[in-house]
Amino acid sequence: MKKIHALSHFALCTAIIGVGFMNAQAADETIRQLAKERGRFIGTILNSEWFNDAIEPEFEEIHKTQFNVVVAENEMKFDATEPKEDEFNFEKGDKMVKYAQANGLRVRGHALAWHSQVANWVNNYKGQKQKLLAVLKNHITKVVGHWKGQIAEWDVVNEAINDDYNADWRSTNSVWYEGIGAEFLDSAFVWAHEADPDAELCYNDYSIEWGLREGSKASFVVEQVKRWKKNNIPITCVGTQTHIEIAHETTPQNVRALAKALAELGVTLNITELDIGFPKGSAGKLTAADYAKQGHLYRQFMDVFLEEPNMGEFVIWGLTDAHSWLDEQQGKTEGLLFDKQYKPKPAYDSVMASLKAHPASEVKTPYPDSILNPPDTTAKDTTVKDTTVKDTTVRDTTVKDTSDAIKMFAIPNNISIHIAGRTLFVMGTAAKDSKVEVFDMQGRPIFSMENSKGVFDLSSIADGLYVVRVRSGSASLVTRISIR
């Protein structure tokens, strides 16, 4: 009931009408909805281009329709949040938190103590242990404190282990380790916990999907988690970044083994930065079989994720191959679920297939209800609403679709929509300035038109189920329609 109360009267009306208007099952078929039903969080980053308003509109539409957890690609890192000593910049992070709240997404915070993307001024204190401790404590206290209660989980320490065959702490090129020693990690967890006792706190790293052989990075992580738990260091989760390549076929089962080892310690394992890239040189030469293989790997990761009860989040490091750090920095390419034109790839279908093959009744969640259904913080702004998810809370409505030819939706501010065959009419005082957008059920925009005196010809749209958004001034209506 909590959710229903949280819906504005306006949104509730559209939700009820929407359910009566179409097959509710089909509307649920987004990754987001299937994840939510399973008590899990699946998401992608918001790329830096999004923060700079330099990304195609499809990006956000797909992002908020398909996913229920979000993380900033760069905007919550040290250099972004504390560019000058004790002068904090939370603007971009706030933008994401607001977006997440408006769209019901869980937020991961990334990352507090990391050797990379540290602001330059920190290097002025190289080797000065007490000063560096004070700098790190101040940073963590102020950043975590700023978003207290709004960020569900922090990567407290990122990539602190070296790449040697016999894993140990990263002792070079880390201003924190070189100046403070390994105690910077323990301290970072304690300070983060003090600043937000309810936040989950993770150790996050790459190459821990390579198995638990002696001397491996993964084994080292497990040993440290044991030590942290024994010493009451408040760690609750490990993040496996999992930036892999198409040839890395053993990694899903390695992640399963790591999850099981951490389960024994009462710690969650999250996949935090997954991408499954092809070698860059293969761009333009990839075949259907290659994409299917990529899908198969995504599917195996999703299977492991859903089958291991101490896994909670599955985050992919990007949404579209058009915006990915793989091409820019990694000599890899096309590692994500959507292609450069925002079309879902076979990997998307594989993820969906895995979710459907694991019924909600069989998937365990590591989270209590208070986390799965937090109090609604959605602002009462109705301009952008994701009804796809909200509708599920009112699915037991008895409102039924009564007429095939003409549908009418009324909203309180004197706008109504009528659909007659393939013509959509916007009625009411503000109708002539209205804008109509139609999205498919995966959130991809397929039609957009404005200033047409309230009459919109939808004959270019194929039969099917869609979400329509009508905006006029500050009023907005989002609902689902069926075109036949």
Residue numbers at the binding site for ligand XIL (CB under 6 A): 48, 73-74, 111, 158, 241, 273, 325
What minimum distance in Å lies between the beta carbon of 157 and ligand XIL?
11
Helix (H, G, I), strand (E, B) or coil at 40: coil
Q: Yes or no: say if 184 and 175 are a contact pair by the CB < 8 Å rule.
A: no
Longest dimension (CA), the chain: 75
What minimum distance in Å lies between the beta carbon of 325 and ligand XIL?
4
The 3-class SS string of 281-292 reads HHCCCCCHHHHH
Alpha carbons 15 and 95: distance in angstroms, whole number: 27
Rg (C-alpha) for the chain, rounded Å, is: 24
What minimum distance in Å lies between the beta carbon of 41 and ligand XIL?
18
Alpha carbons 138 and 135: distance in angstroms, whole number: 5
Alpha carbons 120 and 85: distance in angstroms, whole number: 10
Per annotation, catalytic residue among 159, 200, 209, 437 = 159
Residue with tokens 């999703």: 302
What minimum distance in Å lies between the beta carbon of 272 and ligand XIL?
8
What minimum distance in Å lies between the beta carbon of 205 and ligand XIL?
9
Which tokens hold the place of 437? Answer: 């957008």
Which tokens hold the place of 270? Answer: 């999250």
What minimum distance in Å lies between the beta carbon of 74 and ligand XIL?
5
Alpha carbons 311 and 269: distance in angstroms, whole number: 5
**Whether residue 273 lies in the annotated active site:** yes
- Give 336 or 426: the residue with its C-beta nearer to ligand XIL: 336
What minimum distance in Å lies between the beta carbon of 70 and ligand XIL?
14
Helix (H, G, I), strand (E, B) or coil at 310: coil
- Give 176 or 325: the residue with its C-beta nearer to ligand XIL: 325
- Give 45 or 415: the residue with its C-beta nearer to ligand XIL: 45
**Whether residue 56 lies in the annotated active site:** no
Instruction: Give the other-Cβ count within 10 Å of 89's Cβ.
Output: 14
Alpha carbons 118 and 83: distance in angstroms, whole number: 9
Where helices occur in 72-128 by DSSP H, the ranges are 78-81, 91-103
Q: What angle do CA 90, 56, 242 make, to 5 degrees?
A: 65
What minimum distance in Å lies between the beta carbon of 273 and ligand XIL?
6
Residue with tokens 């259907």: 288
Q: Yes or no: say if 79 and 39 are a contact pair by the CB < 8 Å rule.
A: no
Per annotation, catalytic residue among 58, 75, 209, 273 = 273
Residues near 315 by beta carbon (within 8 Å), at least 6 away in sequence: 41, 42, 43, 44, 45, 69, 71, 108, 270, 271, 272, 273, 274
- Give 83 or 473: the residue with its C-beta nearer to ligand XIL: 83
Residues near 31 by beta carbon (within 8 Å), at least 6 away in sequence: 42, 66, 67, 348, 351, 352, 355
Which tokens hold the place of 474? Answer: 């500050």
Task: Give the containing element (helix H, strand E) for 112.
Answer: strand 106-114
Alpha carbons 207 and 214: distance in angstroms, whole number: 14
Which residues form the catalytic set? Answer: 159, 273
